[in-house]
Amino acid sequence: MLRSARALLRLIGWGLLTGGFALLWLLGLPPVALLGSWRRWRRICFGGWARCCLFLSGVRCEQHGPRVQGAGFLVANHLSWLDIPVLAARFDVVFVSMAELGRWPLIGSMARAFGTILIDRSDKRSIPAVNERIAQALERGERVTFFPEGGIGATRELRPFRAALFESAAQGSWGVRCVALSYATGPGDDSVEEAVVWGQRPFLAQAWRLVLQNRITVRLQVAGEEPRARDRKQLALRCEALVRAELGLPEKLEGAVADAFEG
C-alpha cells in the first residue's frame, strides 16, 4: 500500500513538474528573445525538468568517460523512454525523435518547443528533410542526439545501428560521441527488464512500473574514441562497435550492415 501511494505521488509530481517547467519556459521567452540566449534558457528548462523528474523517481545517474562539448553528434543505445530525460539531464542536446512523440499531450508540445527534430521512420522520403534540419542544428553549434537502433532494444542485446541519420556526420566530418546506457535496480525492486525496459507496454503502464521501484541507477559510459568516416555505413558500424564494447557485448561479425540501415 505504501509503495503504491508513493508511486502515485511520483506520477502526480511528474505532472506538476512538467506543467511548471512548461509555464516557466513560456514566461521566460520574451526576455530570452531580447537577450538572444535561447539555448541557455532551453538548457535551464529542459535540463532542469529532466533532473527534477529523475530525482523524484529515485533515478540516480553515474557518468564516466570524457566530457561532451561543442557541436557534433551523440548516439546511444535505446532501452526505455527514460533514456531521454537521462541524456537531457547530463548533456546539452537537441534530440531526433519519433514523430509519435509530437502527438503526446503536453510532452509533444514541450519537445517541439525545445527544438526536437521529429522523424517518421516509416517514410523514407522524409530522411533528406530530417538530415537538412540536423545539418542546420549542427551549424548553430548544437549537439544532435539520436538512437540509431531505430527503436527500443533489450538489455542484453544491441540492434543494428541504422546508417541513414549519420549522413550529416559523414559528409560534414562532425565528431560523434557514443554513449552506452545501462540500468540497475535496487534490492527488493523488480528486474531491469520489468522496471525500465519499455517493451510493448503502453506508456502509462510502464510509467507505473517505473515509479513503483525504490531506486534505479543508470550508468552512462562515454566512449573515449570519437569516430569519423566519410561513409555513413562505416560510421554507423564504428559507433555500434564502440557501444557494444562499452556494454561488454561480443563483437558483431564483419559485414553485417543490412539494406534496412537505409531506413
Asked if 176 and 222 touch (Cβ cutoff 8 Å), the reply is no
Specify the pLDDT at position 114. 83
Select the more confidently predicted residue: 127 or 236.
236
- Kindly state the average pLDDT of the residues 34-53: 91
Tell me the per-residue pLDDT of 188-202, one tens digit each, with 9 for 90 and over: 999 998 899 877 778
Tell me the per-residue pLDDT of 8-36, one tens digit each, with 9 for 90 and over: 999 999 999 988 998 999 999 899 888 88
Asked if residue 239 has pLDDT above 80, the reply is: yes
Question: What share of the chain in percent tops pLDDT 70?
Answer: 92
Distances from the Cα of 75 to the Cα of 65, 78, 91, 235, 244, angstroms: 14, 9, 12, 12, 12
Asked if residue 4 has pLDDT above 90, the reply is: yes
Select the more confidently predicted residue: 87 or 38.
87
Residue 91 to residue 112: CA distance in whole angstroms = 18
- Reported as a pLDDT band with limits 50, 70 and 90, residue 167 is confident
Round the CA-based radius of gyration of the chain to a whole number and report it: 18
As given in the structure block, the three cell numbers for residue 69 are 562539448
Residue 124 to residue 263: CA distance in whole angstroms = 6
Residue 35 to residue 115: CA distance in whole angstroms = 18
Residue 139 to residue 133: CA distance in whole angstroms = 10
Positions of E strands within the chain: 59-64, 72-76, 94-98, 117-119, 143-146, 176-185, 216-222
For residue 59, which amino acid is it?
V
From the centroid of its chain, how far is CA 57?
17
Specify the pLDDT at position 28. 92
> At what angle are helices 83-90 and 48-56 packed, to 10 degrees?
120
The single residue listed with the C-alpha cell 519499455 is: 198
Asked if residue 256 has pLDDT above 80, the reply is: no
Question: Mean pLDDT score of the chain, rounded to an integer?
Answer: 87
Specify the pLDDT at position 206. 86
Specify the pLDDT at position 112. 79
- Kindly state the average pLDDT of the residues 174-194: 92
Say which residues have a Cβ less than 8 Å from residue 42's Cβ, sequence separation at least 6: 114, 115
Closest alpha carbon to 79 in 207, 166, 183: 183
- Reported as a pLDDT band with limits 50, 70 and 90, residue 258 is very low
Asked if residue 261 has pLDDT above 50, the reply is: no
Q: Where are the domains of the chain?
A: 60-252
- Kindly state the average pLDDT of the residues 224-244: 92
As given in the structure block, the three cell numbers for residue 35 are 537577450
Select the more confidently predicted residue: 199 or 5.
5
The single residue listed with the C-alpha cell 546511444 is: 76
Residue 88 to residue 181: CA distance in whole angstroms = 13
In eight-state DSSP terms, residue 253 is P
Specify the pLDDT at position 32. 87
Strands 94-98 and 117-119: parallel
For residue 112, which amino acid is it?
R
Tell me the per-residue pLDDT of 55-114, one tens digit each, with 9 for 90 and over: 999 999 999 999 998 899 999 999 988 999 999 999 999 999 877 776 766 677 777 788
Asked if 134 and 128 touch (Cβ cutoff 8 Å), the reply is no
Residue 218, exposed/middle/buried by CB under 10 A (0-12, 13-18, 19+)?
A: buried
The single residue listed with the C-alpha cell 521512420 is: 121
Specify the pLDDT at position 262. 46
Closest alpha carbon to 175 in 76, 71, 87: 71
Closest alpha carbon to 91 in 71, 111, 107: 71
